[in-house]
Amino acid sequence: MLPPPVVAAVVVPLVLWRMYSRIKRLTTRQRSKLWRHRTTLVFFPLLLVALAIVALGTSTIALAGLALGLPLGIVLGRMAVKRTQFEQQGEDFYFTPFAPIGMLVALLFMGRMAWRAYEYYAMGSFAHQEFVASPLTLFIFGILAGYYMTFAVGLLAWRRRTVPRSLPQ
């Protein structure tokens, strides 16, 4: 097994690169891809259900954290969709997300994960295993999931309004 400093030397640059690319996507114009929006609406509900089932078995307080974070994320997602810039150029669809809200949600989640990683390494490999039992972690994940699901619904609704429906033949 690799020693923790070696693992950290490999994992940290990868995590920092992903954080950079995630924040960059929250601040720049993006092409709208239906498959990505639909994947969000499949992936996050499944993950929410899985976390809720595990949390129910370990800590009802953690489950309450998840339940409180979700509506807050939905509100933030609705606010972000209202402030997002949408445009169509020919057959292509683009949007520029409202950066402050997206960055707040992403940094909140990334900060929590960084803290959890610090706790994991500071306390030893197996000393801190109650990831799903943490009400704060699930509260923040609820915000993240609610935000991304609401944003995906908003993008799909925009695309549906923008693309004229085919007339029946």
Spatial distance between the Cα atoms of 101 and 103, rounded to a whole number of angstroms: 5
How confident is the model over 100-139, as pLDDT tens digits? 998 899 889 888 888 877 777 776 655 555 667 788 989 9
Q: Residue range 130-151: average pLDDT?
A: 89
Residues 6+ away with beta carbon under 8 Å from 168: none
Report strand pairing: 85-89 vs 92-96: antiparallel
Domain ranges of the chain: 4-162
How confident is the model over 4-48, as pLDDT tens digits? 666 666 667 777 777 777 777 777 889 999 999 999 999 999 999
Q: Residue range 63-78: average pLDDT?
A: 95
Q: Residue range 150-157: average pLDDT?
A: 96
